[in-house]
Amino acid sequence: MLVEFNTLPEESRVWIYQANRSFTEQELEEIQSKLNIFIENWTAHGSDLQSGYTIKYKRFIILALNQKLNAATGCSIDASVHFIQQLEKDYNVDLMDKMNVSYKQGEYVAYKTLTDFRKMAKDKAISKKTIVFNNLVTNIAEFKENWEVPASESWHSRFVK
């Protein structure tokens, strides 16, 4: 059951998929259409899952699920992963690699491998104040408060001194 992302409870579970590039406007329209269909049909043991999504900065797909209504099961989580993997194939984009880092450079969102990010931190090309995206947040409340944060307030802090 598709609902507006902003109407889901704060404790709703989130999954964040970051793309290794920005999507074009046409790709975004197609992806939104595919997300609408997927979420409308997403179930756990035959029960509708009250869920929604948002896309941020033309590169982050955030799925959210109200687990108080119906919790995700192994099969329903597998279904969402298969859906994301199909998007990867359809758009020749990487959405599943958690070993990459996205951060802001002004209004631009940069994407680097963890190795490159570490090197940039060592070379002082990024600092404690650099805004990073903490894709490890687990619910909407954390997403709102701790997704875009200075590197010093995230797991990225181990790299910036």
pLDDT in tens, 123-145: 999 999 999 999 999 999 999 99
Q: What is the pLDDT of residue 106?
A: 85
CB atoms within 10 A of CB 43: 14
For the domain made up of 5-91, the CATH class stated in words is alpha beta
- Condensed to tens digits (0 to 9), the pLDDT of residues 32-91 reads 999 999 999 998 777 788 999 999 999 999 999 998 888 787 888 899 999 999 999 999
Q: What is the pLDDT of residue 13?
A: 96
Q: What is the pLDDT of residue 26?
A: 98
State the angle between helix axes of 25-41 and 74-91 in degrees (0 to 180), rounded to the nearest 10.
Answer: 160
Alpha helices (H) in 21-139, listed in sequence order: 25-41, 74-91, 114-122
What ranges make up the beta strands (E) of the chain?
Answer: 13-18, 43-44, 47-48, 51-56, 60-65, 100-105, 108-113, 131-133, 148-150
Q: Which residue has the tokens 């948002």?
A: 54
What is the pTM for the complete model shown?
0.93
Instruction: Indicate the domain borders of the chain.
Output: 5-91, 100-158
